[in-house]
Amino acid sequence: MQNVHTHVWEEHLHLAPFFVKEAELSRGYPLDMTVRYADFMSDNACFERVVVLGAKARLNGIWVPDDYLAAFVAQAPGKLYGFAGCDPTQSGYLDELRRAAEDLRLSGVKMMPMYAGFDPRDPRCDPVYAYCQSRGLPILFHTGTTFNRQAPLAFSRPWLWDDVAIRYPELRMVLAHVGHPFCEECLVVIRKHPHVYADISALFYRPWQFYNMLVAAQEYKVTHKLLFGTDYPFATAQESIEGLRQANRVVGNSGLPYITDATVEGILHRDAFALLGISS
Ligand SMILES: [Zn+2]
């Protein structure tokens, strides 16, 4: 199994206190956002390969430096693959991106349009997309809602990436969290673009929404575009896997359609790294 969505940070160095406080809305109770290497590795023991995301969004006080991320993933080469954060509202973002890819050898890019306050169609993103497309670097985007008061929902809608994918047809993109709660909007975007995927991280704790998303994915025949991720430390591997395998619990005797085993195990065992072209 592979995990395409995890986070690392030094909470007090890289996250503003107001961001940590607002994160309580994520699960509805205070979260321990501390990430320790040993705990991280133990939670991810069941995965052969793991994407570890950087995060840069000055607007919301989030800044995980590329060097920190590179040092973290260097502790487990061949298992951990870092995606550098990129905030195109900040000066020097292109130099940072090139350094992350060419000097630090990070494997992809993470962008957070709504947290950082930019539209993914913003012209400042074009050099990032062109660079990543030409070098075969995948970009994982936060899509869908969040808990931060300062993060504009307008930049979270999955349909915004339709325009990006039309203009950059070879760019590998992952739309995180299936753009919740705009999941169907996300599914129709990934259906029409061969290299655009969605990850199902952090959705199982809304079982009704999660179930409906999976049914819609089956009906649109896009389950092969869904990738597995946990969003650690927001959720653990075990609860994420169990949440997926128990997605039919809400059906009961209702006669509602079932999520098939092929859908569930397909998501869990998909070779996301091959699809995204992550090699080093
Ligand atoms: Zn996340």
Q: What pLDDT, on a 0 to 100 scale, did the predictor assign at position 24?
A: 82
pLDDT over 70 (residue 217): yes
- Quote the radius of gyration of the chain (alpha carbons, Å): 17
Fold of 2-276: TIM Barrel (3.20.20)
Residue 271 CA, ligand 1 centroid: distance in Å: 20
Residue 233, burial from CB neighbour count under 10 angstroms (0-12, 13-18, 19+): buried
Distance 140 CA to ligand 1 centre (A): 10
Give residue 103 CA to ligand 1 midpoint distance, Å: 25
Mean pLDDT of the chain, nearest integer: 96
pLDDT at residue 280, rounded to an integer: 63
Residue carrying structure tokens 């059906």: 251
How far apart CA 145 and CA 157 sit, in angstroms, is 8
The rounded distance, in Å, linking the Cα atoms of 152 and 2 is 31
Q: By percentage, how much of the chain surpasses pLDDT 90? A: 90
| Cα-to-centroid distance, 220 and ligand 1 (Å) | 25
Residue 130 pLDDT > 70: yes
What is the CA(261)–ligand 1 centre distance, in A? Answer: 26
Ligand 1 center to 162 CA (angstroms): 21
Q: Which of 248, 196, 205, 258 is nearest to 230 (CA)?
A: 205
With residues binned 3-state (H G I as helix, E B as strand, rest as coil), the percentages for the chain, rounded to 5, are: 45, 15, 40
CA of 253 to the centre of ligand 1 (A): 34
Nearest Cα to Cα of residue 175 among 227, 216, 224: 227
Q: Please compute the mean of the pLDDT values over residues 196-220 and round it to a whole number.
A: 97
> For 141-172, how does the pLDDT look when each residue is reduced to its tens digit (9 = 90+)?
999 998 888 899 999 999 999 999 999 999 99
Cα angle 119, 149, 174 (rounded to 5 degrees) comes to 40
* pLDDT band per the 50, 70, 90 thresholds, residue 26: confident
CA-wise closest residue to 19 among 149, 112, 157, 177 = 149
* Ligand 1 center from residue 111 Cα (angstroms): 11
Average pLDDT over every residue of 191-209: 97
Taking residues 94-111, report their average pLDDT. Answer: 98
Calculate how far, in angstroms, residue 143's C-alpha sits from the geometric centre of ligand 1. Answer: 10
Residue 18 confidence (pLDDT) above 90: no
202 CA to centre of ligand 1 in angstroms: 8
How much is the average pLDDT of 237-256? 96
C-alpha 65 – ligand 1 centre gap (Å) = 16
Distance (Å, rounded) from C-alpha 60 to C-alpha 16?
A: 7
> Is 274 or 26 the better-scoring residue by pLDDT?
274
- What's the gap in Å between 270 CA and the centre of ligand 1? 19
Q: In the predicted model, is pLDDT for residue 23 greater than 90? A: no
Q: What is the pLDDT of residue 147?
A: 84
Q: How far is the CA of 152 from the centre of ligand 1 (A)?
A: 17
Which SS3 state, helix, strand or coil, does residue 68 take?
Answer: helix
Tell me which residue of 178, 103, 233 sits closest to 84, measured CA to CA: 103
58 φψ region: left (φ > 0), alpha (ψ -120 to 50), beta (else): alpha
- Tell me if 97 sits within 8 A of 128, measured CB to CB: yes
Question: Are the C-beta atoms of 83 and 53 separated by less than 8 Å?
Answer: yes
CA of 25 to the centre of ligand 1 (A): 14
Please state, in angstroms and rounded to a whole number, the distance separating the CA atoms of residues 132 and 201: 23
3-state secondary structure of 179: helix
Task: Report CA(247)–ligand 1 centroid distance (Å).
Answer: 21
| pLDDT for residue 222 is more than 80 | yes
Averaged pLDDT for residues 198-204? 97
- Reported confidence tier of residue 60, pLDDT bands at 50, 70, 90: very high
pLDDT at 228 over 90: yes
Q: Which residue stretches of the chain are H helix?
A: 11-14, 17-22, 24-27, 37-43, 66-73, 93-102, 113-116, 126-135, 160-167, 183-192, 207-220, 237-245, 261-269, 272-276
Q: What pLDDT shows up at residue 28?
A: 80
Cα 229 to ligand 1 centre (Å): 9
What are the residue ranges spanned by the domains of the chain? 2-276
Out of 17-21, 115-119, 123-127, least confident range: 17-21
